[in-house]
Structure 1
Amino acid sequence: MALWIVLALMTGAAALVAIAPLARRRAAADAGAGDGDVAVYRDQLDELGRDHARGLIGDRESEAARAEVARRLLAASAAQEAGAAQDSAAAVRRRRIAAAIALVVLPAVSLGVYGALGRPDVPDRPLAARLQAPVDRNNVADMVARVEAALEKNPDDGRGWSVVGPIYMRLGRYDDAAEAFAQAIRLLGPSGDREANLGEALVAKADGVVTDDARAALERAAASAPPSIKAAVYLARAAAQDGDRAGALNRLKPLYVQAPADSPYLEGLRDEFQRLAAPPALPMPSPEEAQVARTAEERMALVRGMVDRLGERLAADGGDVGEWLKLVRSRTALGDEAKAREALASARAKFAADPQAQTRLEALALGLGLEGRGA
């Protein structure tokens, strides 16, 4: 409602600004047109007086001329007064009509047209809500079609290829995305982001497998200045796929340690650490146990009891590294960081001679925030 009031006030102000100069110009024209003839006749009377004084004309000629000029002056004065009154009334009418049109008719017509063709019933769409809304694939498809048509006419438009590449990725058109990023690199030159985008598209095209072509693009991105975080993550995944967990950890750990505290990719690196550690799923109650524990407090107590029993069994019997990873993760999820660190220390002591286990335990500790930044 406040918006409508503001718009109405703005419309009225704009109309007044448009009308005021017209009214001033008309008043000035009316004043200037009537005074011209009267001034001329007055000058002629003065000139006759000066000529008579110098003896250039006689008394009789002077009186006759003065009488004629005076007659014309009186006629001009009377016409001026009548015309001014008539013009003043006409000007007032014109100004009133213009004001009515500007202040009433035009806004009314505009409002009527908007009511017929516009959509005043559509609610506001704040930017934050639009950014979080699902992608409208119809609109995206139209936009892609327009960009593709433009690229068909101008295939050397590197900016167009760089714009359409990420859209192809969102649509799952990974072949087209890889081609678009390759074209952007060819036309605009290599950069860390472009090479990383190409590598990511090639990985997606291969269903998550880091192929040789993808690895080459990612290596170039990782060697750029500044190095690409995305490339480092995918290269770490490639190392893990090859069974080199230590190499994957060495790729990610320096980025994590050296990153500024407000880096937007810190949370993503923690997720990668947990992916690298590959801990088993958290213990969950069975359907029968969940039915018994009806409240949230009862369910939490049930889960905590399961985790405690897991810890007691591992302390007594040992267990494999996966169970220890599950225990550390479960303790952290329950908020028992002190017990989580105790379990982590026990696991490291138990698997001191197993480099693979040590790597997984360190990756989980970094991913859970038990070590490294802020630990």
Structure 2
Amino acid sequence: MIEFWLCAGLLLLTALAFLLIPVLRARKVQAEEDRTALNVTLYQERLLDLQSQHAAGALNAEQLASGRDEAARELLADTEGALAQPTQRKLGSTVPLIAALLMPLLGYGLYQHWGAIGDVERAQVFAAQPKTIEEMTARLEAAVKSNPESAESWYFLGRTYMAQERAADAVVAFERAVGVAGREPELLGQWAQALYFAGDKQWTAQLQALTDEALKADPAEVTSLGLLGIAAYESGQFQKAIGHWQQLVAVLPAEDPSRQAIQGGIERAQEQLGEPATQSTPATSPGLTVRVELDPALQGKVQPGDAVFVFARAVSGPPMPLAVKRLSVADLPAEVSLSDSDAMMPQLKISGFEQVQLVARISRSGNATAGEWVGSSQPLASKTTELQQLRIDSADSKAP
């Protein structure tokens, strides 16, 4: 913001210069008037002195006239070019001086009322690409704090919380977004999804009401359709899950990578019903296979029950993981497969990105975003089929 205030200060100085020029000129006029008044007083005193000398007989009439002429010439010479205009002085000095004093206060007050300094600050903050999901979260939290009436900021904050598996916080963010923007179908669907995961996947009357309202306003609202399918599958209502997911597949674009994961869910539901799986869409890609092992030097620093998160994230894309599997230290070494069916969010699939990075993190607290030890791979193509080797051997920079 330094550049902004420097520019504003230069503009203010320029404006003050135009106002103070008449004040400086008025001071010059005042000085001329004061000098003229002094010269007139001296002239009058000299005339009185000449008359006194003439009365005393020291000067004759001719000498008196010559002295008067000389004093008059000196007075004219001293007052030549003087500007004595009192009315102009009053208008040209007092009014500009008052305006010059009031202008900074008036300008600041008007800018505070109509200016957009908050928007300028937020634009500068968001201009740089965040390096981590935690940095993105901090920015969004600052944005909603400075401008709580921004539905867009609340929406993206909720999405970021969901990517961090902070469903309870996402519930608050989506509820605020609905309060600001109104009951838009997409917002209702996201709100319902956050409530579902925050409530340990227990279906409630509130969830039903939210999804019903969203689909009534937009029958193709994808989040609500996907959530209804998930809830039906989790409760053993496989036929109902198939119906919701088939509706979802029908409204998704043909190039949408999440179609594969949804079709995989339909096939699993059909298997539960003892039905042959349909092949209306290509089978889910085999995904990435990685062998995870622990560096021998860390054997005495970890416990068998410590959680191990193995995930893939995009090299160029969102910082949140695309697919995740959870193990424990006791399971290592182990081979893990990560595919589109393991996606954390339907719209973010491994197959949707050209290059990914594999990461394995040990977290004693069970927090997937921060732990004690970590291992990561070099960037590799998302279509890689060869077995990858991943060793956990470094201290985690995100350790709490």
TM-score, structure 2 as length reference: 0.34
* Structure with the higher strand share, 1 or 2: 2
- Which has the greater radius of gyration? 1
TM-score, structure 1 as length reference: 0.36
* Structure with the higher helix share, 1 or 2: 1
